[in-house]
Amino acid sequence: MPLPQFTFVLGGAASGKSSFAESICFQSTKERVYIATAQAFDDEMRAKVSAHQTQRGSDWLTIEAPLDIEDAILGRTEGEIVLLDCATLWLTNVLLSKQDASAAADVLLAAVAACPAQIIVVSNEVGHGIVPDNALARQFRNAQGRLNQSLAAQADLVVNVIAGLPQILKGDKDMLT
């Protein structure tokens, strides 16, 4: 069975979700496109970005889209497989830029639905922790939870990655073979 149009991969921090999503892309014969949402403001983040680039290899088209995700997604073609990594950092950027998170999420969801390429969206599951102690963190957690629920509802295949192990939450496990 071929890979579905829209796959949603989520998991906790350092769970292996990005590596798993990349492995799906490596199985495809389509041109690989990486939509990067991270912004590297310090040495640690620059090292993380560099490690991800090395892991992927040089045969990916990389589009940096920390905020303006719509054009990055809608500019793709049927002959591509797109990995958007990650919705969590994108939403963080949206909130820190004081944009309307709900409206921005609607734009993201519409772009994913209209994307002509196969698309994989990676996101962090943020609902397993304690209630944050400040308003911005609570706003982020709630917005991320709503976004993840909307992405999962729209996706053909939803995979949760824990300790590097993928668990199919929605869709047919044969979609990954």
The pair of three-digit structure tokens given for residue 97, joined into one six-digit string: 């830029």
pLDDT grade, residue 176 (50/70/90)? low
Give the E-state strand segments of 14-112 in sequence order. Answer: 31-36, 60-64, 80-85
Give pLDDT tens digits for 65-106: 999 999 999 999 999 999 999 999 999 999 999 999 999 999
What crossing angle do the helices spanning 101-114 and 135-154 adopt, rounded to 10°?
20
From 30, 52, 141, 146, the catalytic residue:
52
Give pLDDT tens digits for 2-47: 789 999 999 999 999 999 999 999 999 999 999 999 888 888 988 8
Annotated catalytic residue 52 = yes
CB atoms within 10 A of CB 79: 11
